[in-house]
Structure 1
Amino acid sequence: MKKMLLSLAITAALAGCGGGETLEDVKNDTPPVIPSATVKFDPANGVISVPNDLLMSGTKDGTINIPGELSANGASVPRSAYANPSLALGALDGWSSQVPYKVDLTFPANVSLDESSAGAPGAVRIFEVVMGASLTDADCAAVPAGAGCKLLGELTFGVDFITKASGNAVAIIPLKPFKAGSSYINVLTTELKDSLGRSIQPSSTYGLVKQEAPLVTESQLALQGVVNSYENVLISGGTITKDEIIYSAAMTIQSVGPVLGTIKKLLAASLQNPALPKPQVQIPEQDMLTVAEVLLSDPDITNVSPAFNGVQYQRGSVTLAMYLSQPEGKEISKLADTYWQGMCSSPVAVLNQQAADQALRDAGKEDEIDPTMFGIGPYEQLCQGLSEGKLHDYPKIDITRHLTKYNPLPKMQSLQEVPVQITKPILPVINAIRTQTGMPALEMPAGGWPVVIMQHGITSKKEHMLALTASLAIQGFATVAIDHPVHGERGIDVDDDG
C-alpha cells in the first residue's frame, strides 16, 4: 500500500507541472548537479597531507611513523636506512618549524580553486594547543597521546603565516618559525571557495568522523575521537564553530632544545666534576706567524690587505666528545650509519613493551613474554644518574635510539683531538691602522682579549673564516675556530685522492 501511495504521489506531482510537460521535459529543464570540491583526507587508504600528527599514532619511540620505515614483519629498518631522505623524518619527534606545507584538495571536472579565497584571511586558521600526554602541562599529562587538550591561542594571518593557492592545494607559508616542541592545529574553513563560489566541503571520511554519534569500527572510533578532540579544543575559544570547520590536523613541531640543553649541562658539569672530560684548548709553543703569511701560503691567493699583518695566527687543539661514530668503511651505507643516537632506551618504547607484556598476561599467555627484554645494559647507571631516574638502558628495547624530547641523552662515541685555529691582535700593527683611521689606540684588557667563536658553513672549513679576522682584530677581538665534523682537517677522504 505504501509503495502504491508513493507511486501515485509522484504521478500527481508530474501531472501538476502543467503545460503538458512530459518527464523528458522535466529532465531537460533540470540543471546538472556538479559534485562538490573536497579536502583530500582518507587516512585508512594513505590519503593524508603532511604535516599531520596522525602519522605519530602508534609510534614506537615518540618519532614520526613514515611509510616504509618498518619492515614487513614490523621490525625497524637498519640504522643506515635513515640516510634516505624519504625516511629521515622517521627519526624526528616532530615536524619542521619553518618549511612551507600544503593541504591537498580534489575538484570535479571544470572546477578549480578560487585563488582569492585561498590567499585571504580566514580560509586557513592556525591555533596553538597543548596535546595529550604533555611533558610540560600537568592538566594534559593524563589525556591520551594524540588527542587535543587545551587551547593556547591563535596565530595571526599576515604576521605569523600567509596562504596561497598552489594548484589543487592551499599552501601555508610560515612567516615566523613555529615554536620548537609546541603543537598546532591547522584548520580549513568554509571561507575556502571553489571557482563556482561554493565552499570547499570536508572529505566523506572527515565528514563522517566529525559527527558526535559513535561510529562502528575500532579505527573509525579512534579517528572520530581524535578529530572531535581537535574541534572541541578549537571551539572552546569562542572564535570558530564546528560548522565552519571543513578540515583540522594537528602538527607537533620538532624539539631541538632538549638534546643540546643536555650537552650544555654536561659541559657545565665538567667544570666542577673532574670525572667528566673537560674541553680545554692546548696551545703549544710555536713560531710567530701572521694571518697574512697563512693566507699567502695558498697558491690561489696573491695579495692580501696589510691589516692581516696585524693578526697573529696560532694552532692549538681541544679534546671534544664525539657523538657521531666513525664510519667503519667508505661505502655509502657505512658513511650514513654515523648519526647521533641516544644512550638510553626511549621511555615511549619502554612503555610500549610494558603494555605488550601486560596484554600477554591478560590473555593468559605469560609464557610468550621474553624476560630478557628488560635486561640491563652498560649505560644503565649513567642513564639513571643523568635523568634523575627517568631513563634506562635496555639494549633489546629501542634499537634505533633516536634522540627526542623523551630521550635527550646522547651517547658519546669517542673523544677526539680537534685542531683549533686561534687569532689575536698584534698591537703595534693594529694601533697603527687605528691611528690612520682616527680611532684611539687599544690596550689588551687585563683578562685577555674578548673572543669571537667562528663557525663555518657546510662544505667549508675553519681556514675560510680567516678572511674576517683582520676586521675583528682592529676592533680588539681574538677569534677561535674548529672544523665541523667531517669537514676540513676532520674530513674523510672517500675517494683516496688526498
Structure 2
Amino acid sequence: MRLLKWLPVCLLALGLAACSSDDEGDGGLADNPRKLISLFDPVAASAVIPFPNDGLFGTPADGTLNIPNGTNAPFVAAANRLDGFSTVASAFTDLIGEVDLASANAPGSIVIINTRTLQPLVPGTDYRVQFSTAIDPVTGRPLDALRSRLLIEPLRPLAPSTTYLVVVTRALQSVEGVPAEPADLFRVLLSSQTVDEQLVAGNEPALTLLSEAQRASLEGIRQLYQMRILPPLASAGLPAESLVIAWPFTTQSIGATLSRLQAGVQPQALTLVATGLTTQDVIAQLPPVADLYVGSISLPYYLADATATADDADESFFVGGAPDNPLNSFWRADAAVRGDGNAPVGVPCAVLQPSESTTACFPQPRARASQRVPVLATIPNANSGRTAPENGWPVVIFQHGITGNRSQMLALAPALAAAGFAVVAIDLPLHGLPPGDALRAATEQFPEPLRPRERTFDLDLVTNATGAPPADGTPDPSGTHFINLSSLLTSRDNLRQAEADLITLSASVGGSVILGGNLQPAGIAFDGDSVRYAGHSLGGIVMGTFLGVEPGNAPAVLAMPGGGIAKLLDGSAAFGPTVAAGLEAASGGSIVEGNDTYETFLRFAQQVIDDGDPLNYAAAATDNRPLLMFVVRGDAVVPNCTVAGDEGCPATDTIPISSFLGGSDPLARALGLSFVPGPAQGDGFDVPIAPNLYFSGPPEIGLRTVVRFNQGDHGSILSPAANAQVTCEMQTQAATFLASAGRQLPVGNCTGGQ
C-alpha cells in the first residue's frame, strides 16, 4: 500500500515546529490533568502532528520530502533531498497527560503495521517505547513537564522503501489508569460525516474555532483517512472507535545507489612498485616477514575535490550559489539514468522529475573525476615461510579507521603474511599521509601517469592544535573533515564514497600490475578469486556496508565497528563531547546537548546518514558470508551500546536519551552473529584465555561470530599498547579465520602475548 498520492495539499504546508511539537497548543482540547489526550492539530499555523509523517512529502515532483524549513536549518534541507524517512531513528507522538510507560509497551497499545506484509511489528522485539526527557528549548523545562512525548524506538532496522502505519489505541493508559482519548480534530477525521456536516451538527465545538480554509484542509485529511487509512486498520482489527491517533510514514530507499555501482563496476588499473623495504624496516617492532609495495589506482570520485575543474562552472554542482567543495559537496543524481519501478511512496519513477541527490528513481551519481589514489601493499617474503600459490597470492583488503591512514595495515600485515596473505590498503576519503612521510614520498617519485594524490588534498582549513579555524599553514591531519556536522549529506557521501572505493578496489585487485624497484615486472601476481576483507573502526563500518552489496561469499573480519552512527557518535566517550561542543558553537547555543533541538538534530542526522550505515546492510552482509567481529567491552571510541544508565554500556559519553541501535552490539545482532563467550551484555573473555578453546563452523556456512574481550581497547587489533595478549588473540583469530575461509576460530593461543 502506498499513501502519498492521496495526501492533500494542506499537510504539505506543515512547519518544522509542528514536527517537534514545541508549542504548547492542545488542538482545542481542555487542559484536564486527569485525562490523557493525543495532541493533533494539522491545520494550525504551527501545526502539531506525529513525526515522521507522510504529510511531509512534497507533491510528486521528484518524490523527495518537503519538510517546511522557515529557518533554513541545514539538517532539514539535507533531509528534503531524501525519498523517505529513517529506518533507524525514533518516531514520536505527543499527548496531554502523564502516560503509564508500562501500558505504552504492552501489546495492543501502540501498533505498527508494515503495509507491504500487512503484518504488525512485534513490541519488545521490533520496537519499544520510551519517554523523551529532553529539555524544551523555548521554556527551559523538561518536555515531560509539559506533555508526554512517546519515543517509538526501533530495536532492529525497519524495511526500506516501506510505508508503515502507526496506531495509538485506547489501550494506552495514564498513570491513573485512565484510557487515552483522541484529540478533537483527530476525532473529526474518524467521522463518516464531512467537516461541514459535523460543524452544523455541533458535535465538535473545536470546529467553530477554524477558518473556512482550515476546515477545507481538514476535510481533505478526513477523506484521506476514510479512504486509505481507516479501512486497512479496521481489517487489522483496529476499528475507528479504538483509535487515539494514527499516521503513515514511508522509509527511504536503501542501497539503490551502491547496488547500482556494484552491478556496473569496471576494474581499474592498479600498479604496485617494490620499495625494497620490509615490515620491520618501517616499524622496528614488527618481524620482517612481508615486503612493502606502494602504488596507485584510479577510482571514480563523486564528490568535489580541492582542484579547480570544469565542474566549478557547472551550476548544477553549486551549493549556496557557489561552486561546491570537499566540505559541502554531495552525490548528485544523474538525470539521464532513471530507475525502473516506483519511488518509495508508490509514485512511478516515470512521472517524477530528476532529484538533486540520488534516490531510488535516480540512483546513479554523477562522477566528478577519476582520482588516482595511493595504494599500500605487503606481500609475504621468504621470512614468512610461505610461497606463492600457483594462482597468485590471496589478498586481504584492509580498511583503516577514522583519522588513520593506509599505513595502519602494517601492524596486521605480519600475522596475515604468516597465514599466506598479501594485504592491500587505500585511504578513506579525506584521509592520507602527511607531507614528508616516507611512504608518501615513495609514490611522489612515480612517473606522472602513475603518480597519486593524497586523499586529504592537503586541505589547510583549521589550526591543527585546536581543530578550529583559522588555517595554520600546515595541512590538516588525516580525517579532520570526514565527519561533517554542518553538511550531513557530505558526511553520508563520504561514507558512500568509501564504500564505492571498496567496490572498485575489490574488482581490480586481481589484475594488479606488480613491478620491481626498476619498474620491471616482478613476476608476482594476486589471486582475484581469493580476496578477503578486514576493517577496523570506521573502516569496519564502511566495510560492513560494502559487504551488504558485494555479491561474493568471501569471509571478512570487522574489528570494533558499530551502527546507528548518529547516536554512536553522540554516545562515544571520544567523540561525543566534540560533537556536542561543535553543535552548540555552530548553532549559537540553540543546539545544546540534552535539549529537544539536539535530539531533533540527531534524529535528522541518522535519517540522512541511513544509506551509508551498516545497520541497513547487515542482513545482506551475512546472507552468504562467514563473518568475524571483535568487540572490546568499554570501548571508548565506538561504544558497545548507547542505552542511558545501562551498566552493560560502559565508557560512554553523556547519553540524555537512549538509542537501542547505536554502537557495536546492536550491529552484531543485526548481522545475526553469535556472541562468544556468551550472549549476555557482560560476557567477555579475560586474557589470558584458557588455551586451545576452539570453535569450528559448518563447512557449507562458516562462522558468523562476535568475540568480546574484557581487556584491550579500541585499537587493540593493531596496537599491543593496551594489552599485548588481546592484540595477539585478535590477530591470530583473524588470520586463521580468513585462511580457513571462515570455518575455524582458534581461541586461547596467546598466553604469552605477542
TM band (smaller chain)? 0.5 to 0.7
Give secondary structure in 2 for the equivalent of 1:195.
Answer: coil
Q: 1:55 deviation in Å?
A: 0.6
Match of 1:163 in 2: 129
The one of 222, 225, 248 equivalent to 1:224 is: 222
Name the amino acid aligned to 1:407.
F
- CA distance in 1 between counterparts of 2:403 and 2:68 reads 31
Match of 2:404 in 1: 460
Match of 1:287 in 2: 275
Q: 1:190 deviation in Å?
A: 1.2
Name the amino acid aligned to 1:340.
W
Match of 2:113 in 1: 127
Give secondary structure in 1 for the equivalent of 2:393.
Answer: coil
Match of 2:81 in 1: 91
In the TM superposition, 1:414-433 aligns within 5 A as 414-426=369-381, 428-431=382-385
Q: 1:345 deviation in Å?
A: 6.9
Q: 1:347 deviation in Å?
A: 7.3
1:304 aligns with 2:304: no
CA 453–251 in structure 1, closer or farther in 2 if over 3 Å, else same: farther
Q: 1:404 deviation in Å?
A: 0.7
- CA distance in 2 between counterparts of 1:35 and 1:44 reads 26
1:490 aligns with 2:455: yes
Q: Conserved in 2, the CA contact under 8 Å of 1:119 and 1:162?
A: yes
The one of 189, 193, 206 equivalent to 2:186 is: 206
RMSD value, Cα: 3.2
Give secondary structure in 1 for the equivalent of 2:187.
Answer: helix
- CA distance in 2 between counterparts of 1:415 and 1:328 reads 12
Match of 2:37 in 1: 38
CA 214–159 in structure 1, closer or farther in 2 if over 3 Å, else same: same
Give secondary structure in 2 for the equivalent of 1:405.
Answer: coil
Per-residue CA shift, 1:171-229, capped at 9, x if unaligned? 21211111122221221111211122111212222211122223354422331233331
1:152 aligns with 2:118: yes
The one of 155, 165, 182 equivalent to 1:175 is: 155
1:264 aligns with 2:262: yes
Q: 1:391 deviation in Å?
A: 9.3
- CA distance in 2 between counterparts of 1:253 and 1:456 reads 31
- CA distance in 2 between counterparts of 1:260 and 1:51 reads 25
The one of 282, 286, 305 equivalent to 1:326 is: 305
Name the amino acid aligned to 2:375.
V
Give secondary structure in 2 for the equivalent of 1:466.
Answer: helix
Q: Conserved in 1, the CA contact under 8 Å of 2:85 and 2:251?
A: yes
Count the aligned residue pairs: 357
- CA distance in 2 between counterparts of 1:117 and 1:459 reads 46
Q: 1:390 deviation in Å?
A: 5.5
- CA distance in 2 between counterparts of 1:342 and 1:311 reads 43
CA 218–129 in structure 1, closer or farther in 2 if over 3 Å, else same: same
| Structure 1 unaligned regions, length at least 5 | 1-31, 72-80, 131-150, 271-277, 297-302, 352-388, 432-441
Give secondary structure in 1 for the equivalent of 2:118.
Answer: strand
Q: TM-score, normalised by structure 1?
A: 0.64
Q: 1:342 deviation in Å?
A: 0.7
Aligned identity (percent) is 28
Per-residue CA shift, 1:68-116, capped at 9, x if unaligned? 17x9xxxxxxxxx78x224321121112211233222223xxxx22122
Name the amino acid aligned to 2:290.
V
- CA distance in 1 between counterparts of 2:180 and 2:383 reads 71
Name the amino acid aligned to 2:110.
V
Q: Conserved in 1, the CA contact under 8 Å of 2:112 and 2:120?
A: yes
Name the amino acid aligned to 1:280.
A
Name the amino acid aligned to 2:41.
D
Name the amino acid aligned to 1:461.
N
- CA distance in 2 between counterparts of 1:334 and 1:191 reads 53
In the TM superposition, 1:44-55 aligns within 5 A as 44-45=43-44, 46-55=47-56
Match of 1:477 in 2: 421
CA 446–152 in structure 1, closer or farther in 2 if over 3 Å, else same: farther
Match of 2:519 in 1: none
Match of 1:404 in 2: 359
- CA distance in 2 between counterparts of 1:33 and 1:254 reads 39
Match of 1:313 in 2: 292
- CA distance in 2 between counterparts of 1:410 and 1:444 reads 39
- CA distance in 2 between counterparts of 1:122 and 1:260 reads 38
CA 332–100 in structure 1, closer or farther in 2 if over 3 Å, else same: farther
- CA distance in 2 between counterparts of 1:231 and 1:311 reads 67
1:444 aligns with 2:424: no
Worse overlay, 309-318 or 34-43: 34-43
- CA distance in 2 between counterparts of 1:232 and 1:250 reads 13
1:251 aligns with 2:249: yes
CA 162–315 in structure 1, closer or farther in 2 if over 3 Å, else same: same
Name the amino acid aligned to 2:299.
L
Give secondary structure in 2 for the equivalent of 1:91.
Answer: coil
Per-residue CA shift, 1:390-421, capped at 9, x if unaligned? 699xxxx65x6121111112111111111112
Match of 1:66 in 2: 67
- CA distance in 2 between counterparts of 1:408 and 1:207 reads 41
- CA distance in 1 between counterparts of 2:240 and 2:129 reads 22
| Structure 2 unaligned regions, length at least 5 | 1-30, 133-143, 197-214, 309-318, 343-348, 433-453, 462-470, 476-754
Q: Conserved in 1, the CA contact under 8 Å of 2:379 and 2:417?
A: yes
Q: Conserved in 1, the CA contact under 8 Å of 2:429 and 2:455?
A: yes
Match of 1:233 in 2: 232
Q: 1:42 deviation in Å?
A: 1.9
Name the amino acid aligned to 1:225.
Q
Q: Conserved in 2, the CA contact under 8 Å of 1:421 and 1:462?
A: yes
CA 484–443 in structure 1, closer or farther in 2 if over 3 Å, else same: same
Q: Conserved in 2, the CA contact under 8 Å of 1:119 and 1:165?
A: no
Q: Conserved in 2, the CA contact under 8 Å of 1:190 and 1:201?
A: yes
CA 485–116 in structure 1, closer or farther in 2 if over 3 Å, else same: same
- CA distance in 2 between counterparts of 1:449 and 1:391 reads 50
Match of 1:101 in 2: 91
Q: TM-score, normalised by structure 2?
A: 0.44
Name the amino acid aligned to 1:94.
G
CA 66–163 in structure 1, closer or farther in 2 if over 3 Å, else same: same
Per-residue CA shift, 1:346-405, capped at 9, x if unaligned? 979xx9xxxxxxxxxxxxxxxxxxxxxxxxxxxxxxxxxxxxx9699xxxx65x612111
- CA distance in 2 between counterparts of 1:182 and 1:463 reads 42
Q: 1:35 deviation in Å?
A: 6.1
- CA distance in 2 between counterparts of 1:252 and 1:223 reads 17
Give secondary structure in 2 for the equivalent of 1:63.
Answer: coil
Structure with more contact order per residue of length (Cα contacts < 8 Å, sep ≥ 6)? 1
CA 222–328 in structure 1, closer or farther in 2 if over 3 Å, else same: farther
- CA distance in 2 between counterparts of 1:346 and 1:52 reads 29
Give secondary structure in 2 for the equivalent of 1:450.
Answer: strand
Q: Conserved in 1, the CA contact under 8 Å of 2:99 and 2:175?
A: yes
CA 57–157 in structure 1, closer or farther in 2 if over 3 Å, else same: same
- CA distance in 2 between counterparts of 1:38 and 1:98 reads 27
Give secondary structure in 2 for the equivalent of 1:429.
Answer: helix
CA 33–473 in structure 1, closer or farther in 2 if over 3 Å, else same: closer
Q: Conserved in 2, the CA contact under 8 Å of 1:328 and 1:335?
A: no
- CA distance in 1 between counterparts of 2:160 and 2:102 reads 31
Higher Cα Rg, which structure: 1
Name the amino acid aligned to 2:272.
I
